[in-house]
Structure formats: C-alpha cells, structure tokens
Amino acid sequence: MAIIYNESKKTFSLQTLNTTYQLKIGNLNYVKHLFYGPRINDEDLIYLIRRYDRGFSGNPYDSLKERTFSLDAQPQEFTTQQQGDFRINSIEVQNADGSFSFNGRYVSHKIYSGAFTLNGLPTAFATENDTVDTLEVVIEDAVTHVAVTLLYSVFEEKDIIMRAARVHNGGEGMIRLKRIMSMNMDYLNGQNLDLISLPGRYGQERQVERQMLTHHVHKIRSGRGISSHQQNPFIALAERTATEEYGSCYGFSLMYSGSFLAEVELDQYDQARLVMGINDRLFSYHLEAGEDFDTPAVLMTYTHKGLARMSHRYHDFFRDNLNRSKFVMDVQRPVLLNTWEAAFFDFDDVKLLKIAKAAKDMGVEMIVMDDGWFGKRDDDNSGLGDWFVNENKIKCGLPSLVEQINALGMKFGIWFEPEMVSEDSDLFRAHPDWAMEIPGRRAVRSRNQLALDVSRREVQDYLIESINRILDSANIYYVKWDINRAITDLWSNDLPGDQQGEVSHRYVLGLYRVMDGIIKTHPDIMFEGCAGGGGRFDPAMLTYFVQYWSSDNTRPLDNLKLHYGSSFVYPISSMGAHVSTASPMVPIETKAAIAMCGTFGYELDATHLSEEAVARCKAMSDLYHKYYDLNFFGDYYRLANPFEPVNLVAWETRAKDMREALVTVVTVNLTMNGPQEYIKCKGLIPDQRYRVEGDGNVFFASGMALMHAGIPIPREVPEFTAFMYHLTAVE
C-alpha cells in the first residue's frame, strides 16, 4: 500500500517511490501536518513540533489550562475559522445562524485503491502501470455539522500526490461558502524558501519570477474568469540554494480553468503556509442541507534533486495521467499550417485549396481553417455564436472542401470559439439573455464580443448540439478551440440575486460539461486549446486538449523565454508552437528549431514563399518527424536561462534510456572577438561513448566529457543561428 495508517501513533504516511507525506490525528483531534520530503520509514515525526506559550495566540477552550497549544502556531492539514489561527486560511463559511466559524476535527477516515474523482471537475487517472491509493480524512464541526473531507490520491511510481477537498453541509439550514481552498500546506521552516511563479501578459505568457519569502502574504491569482495570461495556476517553493540539479523543490499545480488563488504566508515564527484553490473574490456558494461542494484538485510533487527533476515529474504525469486521447501517445501528430496569418478573414474555398497545395511541398500534412468560416463573419464584430457554415465563403460546402483537401493527401482542421457571442449574430438576437450582462448595465466589450452564460444548461446544450453537427458533417481531423476575452459582468439570468456569487464557478463547471459532450464524444479528432494564445493553459485543460496554443506571439526570440517558463510544469508535447513570418531577420531554420520546442507547425501563407524557402521548410518538417519521439517523450533539460544575460540559449531532450539526446542551441548575442563558449549536456551515462553530430561536424565523446566539459559552439556564424546536436550512444 502507498498509504500506511499507524493506529497506535495515529499517523498517516503517504509513500511514493521517493517521497513521504505524513499527517497525524493530534491534540484534541485536530489533524496536523508533520512532513513532506524524501522517503522515510513509517515513524511518528511528532517530535518535530515543539509547543510554547505564545503571547496573543489563543488556545482552544477545551485545552483547559494548557497554554502551549495554539492553532496560530501549529502546522495543520486544513485550517479552522475563528479558532485562534490568524494566518491565511483554507475555509470561510457563513453558517445557517449567520456566524462565521468552522472548528473541524477528525471524525473518520478510509483508505482504498484507485484515484478519487470529483463531481463535474477533471482529475488525473491511474494507468495500468500505476499503483494508486486514496486516503479520505473527514473533519467536522460538532456544532454546525459542516464537514470537510480531505482527499489524497497517491500515485506511487510517479511521485505525485493529488489533493482536493469536499464540503458537506450536514446541518439543517443553508450555509454559504465564502472561501474554500483545495489544500493547505504548512512548513515548520519557511524562512529559506523561494517562491517561483509564472507571471506574464498577452503575448508574453509564463515568464519566470523567483523571489524570497518575506513576512507578508504573497498572492498569485487570476480574477479574469480564466486561468489567464497574467498568471498560471502553478507555483513552486524551493530552497534558496536550489538549482536545476540540486536542492529541495515543492511543486503545486491546480487543475482548474477559472479564477484561482494561491497564497503563501511567512508567519511571525518563520513558518510558511500555502493555500491554493478557487479565487474567493466575487465568490459565494450556497449549500443547502445535505449538499456537497467539491474543490478542484491540486497535483503536488517533491524532490530534493532540483528543479529539472520536479519538471520531469510533471511532464511524465501530464503525458500519462491527464488525457486518454490516442493523440497523446499513440498517434504521431501531423505538421499543420494554420490559415490565420495567411488570410485572416479574407478567404474562400478556392484560396484555402491554393494554400493547401502550396503547403504540401513544405511537408505540411494538415490545413487548419481558422476564424471566419461561419455565420456572417468578415471581421471580429459579428457572427460569433452562429455555428453554421457561411457558404458565401465556402461555396462548395464544408464536406466538399474537406474532401478536396483530403484528396491532396492532407488532413483538415477547423477553428471554433464556442463560449462567445457577437451582438450582431442570429444567436444574440434570438437569446440576448444568454449573454452575461448585469441588469441595468451594459456589458464590458472585449474584441467586440460578449461572453455566453455557459453556466446555463440550455446554453451548454446549444453548444454541444450545434458544434457536434459541424464536426459530424465532414472528415474533420483537428479542432482549435479558442476563447478571446476574459469573463466579466458576472451575472446569470438563470440564478436568483443571492446566488450570483456562484456564476464564475458554475461557468467553469458548465464549460467542462460542454467539453465532455464534444471532445470526449469525438475520440478520433485531435483537439488543441487556445485562449488568445496561452491565456487558459492549465492541467485541467490538458485533460481535454492534447496540446495548447502557447501564445499568439510567434516571434521566435520571445518564444525562447515562453518555452523556458512553460517547461517548469508543461511538457513539450503540450505546447503549441509555429513558424511564422514574424522576425524576418531570424532564419527559418532557427524559427523551426524553436518551434520544435513545442508541437511544431506553420502560421504563414505558403503561396508567398520562394522555392528555396519551401525546400528549407520541408527539411525542417522532416526533422520534426525524425526527432518526434525524443522531443515528445524524452526528458527535457533547461541548459541556459534566457532571463539571464547570456549569449546562447539552449535546451536538451534526452531519451529515457539515456542513449540518445538532442541539444538545441540558439545564438542570441554575438559579440565581436568574444570567447569560445560551451554548452554542457545533462542526464547522460557518464562512461558511455556518444557520437555527436551537429554544426556540420561529427565527433565522439563520453557522457562525462559532454556533461562536464561540454560542446564547443561555433562563433563565426550569422546572428540568431541555431544548432541542433544529435547524440547517439555507440559501442
């Protein structure tokens, strides 16, 4: 079993291959957190907690005259409310009598095989090769009978623990959840921890910031209704001395696609507390007697072997345990060309076929028809919501167009933006109440469109039916699912006024139901997510989409930073990346090498390329297939940090058996008469001899030499040159 309950010590030890997480039923039946770190034997670590009489830190009444027990200084698994703990908390509930209080104490637990599931929310699943056990610990308030079930699924071989919480209203009246976090994590020593997060903005998503914890509350949040360009629902806490290869690192990735919150507080005693879950801003959820509320899941991992090992854990887990689509592992994804930057809204079936014929010589295997094919849609002011083919553009009809593309030996893809509506649309004219708009106020426009109230069942049913009708009408191989604005004006005409605080979360639940009804019912279609680029790139989305469009910014040098930041948690196989005409000073080969640090494709008009450019693209498309398995399934190493003043940016993908690797190097700053520079490899077999082919040369070296001496990178080259070094083990 991956979970050991020691009845005499009242400890629960959650054991993965390399880690131990321990909690304990402690004083007065409060559930304490004891340890998360390298794997240890089943022993009670309560000795770590020392108790003192803390001034102005109160004591539970039933501790009687014992002044050394205060929840304000004790590590907990899930916090109380108004019980003397003044730190950031896990729950805020307004009880039926109007009081704000929750005093949760242990009442029961159970352990079973398999992973837990949540009502309406995506979770990770166990594969046939995984050993997974689940612990449920119930804490309850004896006065209100509000109970919280703490859920832990332990993926033993993957070194991942999935956590969530379930609130049950066991009382007789309605309660209101004002705040409910998915998890709480306490650290006895937090003064030497750094917080790593992935902030950004539109076009510059998932940059990297690392800051030391100070005696404040550090907030990472989105209040935009989506997980957002500005923040990502991932953080890491790392020892201040932790590097890519050494030091303790704790990763936390929230499986939620709406407004989220992660808070970290370094308290008065240098203890650290992390909570993570749904953003409590504009949130209030009614629970009638007998009803439950499930929080989204958090995927946690720990390693003492540095940031790269943390990333590898997430990469493997996201590939194996989030999405059952055959396109994740079993079917090689085609080289695609998206028509957006080739045509924008100005296209018809004849133009699309012309682009497809030209693109075929580039090694392109699939044409994706982007925005503008439906309703009355000649610009972004109209048509959204009218999911029927505009036959003034697609004159031959969609089935015929797809057949003609297929006849070229190419696959066909199509773009949707299901969650939005234009005021100039048949849908809005028929159902203006389906758009989110607060009564008496005009809604905020963004990209000249409004958000549909996807929390409503009839809106969900309309989207499922209308989009499935299109998907079932032709041989569609791929769908790009977009959303191009944040969610504002939170209001549902389907809910009473005192439940409007539920709209944001109900929207997310409704979206998952729509995706269940469209994506999960079309296993032979490859789905890619998009939110104006990477504005809703999160692990919950990856349970539906095999890949996610990383950014609308296709400038290759910008993408060096974007891919670097994304790689802290997301694998290459999930990151959509294309070659475009942006940054004309950068060679096609360099653009392609950077796009191969992603799922690879093109975003350009193939009819405007020279024969030479077409041939160069074809060579890069062939390389994408040659290195597909290495890039998609190998271990990824960050070799040079583009956020530092470097002359070279580099990364490596290495096969699991360590006998093959691909090292990619991009020159970003050539200095006159500069020094010789070297890139050191990682993850090789020290005494194995490797053949190294790249920069027009072949040489042989041991893994030890390549890791500690490195590969010399040529200097006398044009700016922004890329090198790809292929390493293969030789006998």
Give me the active site residues, please.
Answer: 482, 552
Q: For residue 98, give both structure tokens.
A: 């109007």
Q: Which amino acid is at 706?
A: L
Report the alpha-carbon distance of residue 135 to residue 115 in Å, rounded. Answer: 9
The answer for residues whose C-beta is within 8 angstroms of residue 679's C-beta and 6 or more apart is: 639, 640, 648, 650, 663, 665, 710, 711, 713
- Per the rule left: phi > 0, alpha: psi between -120 and 50, beta: everything else, 282 is left
β-pairing, 292-294 vs 272-278, is: unpaired
Q: How far apart are CA 546 and CA 719, in angstroms?
A: 34
DSSP class of residue 582 equals S
554, 580 in Cβ contact below 8 A? yes
- The sign one gets for the Cα dihedral 451, 513, 469, 355 is positive
Residue 457 and residue 509: Cα distance in Å, rounded?
A: 11
Distance CA 150, CA 164 (A): 6
- CA dist., res. 528 & res. 375, Å (int): 22
CA distance 514 to 456: 11
- Residue 494: CB atoms within 10 Å: 16
Task: Name which of 46, 52, 1 is nearest 22 in CA terms.
Answer: 46
Q: What are phi and psi of 572, to 5 degrees?
A: -50, -40
In three-state secondary structure terms, 185 is strand
Residue 19 Rama label (left phi>0; alpha psi -120 to 50; beta): beta
What phi and psi, each to the nearest 5 degrees, are found at residue 608? Answer: -100, 5
Query: What type of residue is 461?
Result: D
C-alpha to C-alpha distances, 661 to 37, 636, 677, 707, nearest whole angstrom? 30, 10, 20, 12
Q: Tell me if 221 sits within 8 A of 259, measured CB to CB.
A: yes
Q: Which two tokens stand for residue 119?
A: 């009502």
Q: What are 484's two structure tokens?
A: 């191009």
CB count, 10 Å around CB of 598? 25
Q: What are phi and psi of 29, to 5 degrees?
A: 65, 20
CA atoms of 443 and 433, how far apart (whole Å): 12
Q: Are 285 and 294 in contact (CB under 8 A)?
A: no
Contacting residues for 600 by C-beta, under 8 A, at least 6 apart: 335, 577, 578, 579, 592, 621, 624
Residue 479 three-state SS = strand
Task: Measure Cα distances from 673 to 210, 220, 586, 667 in Å.
Answer: 34, 44, 22, 15
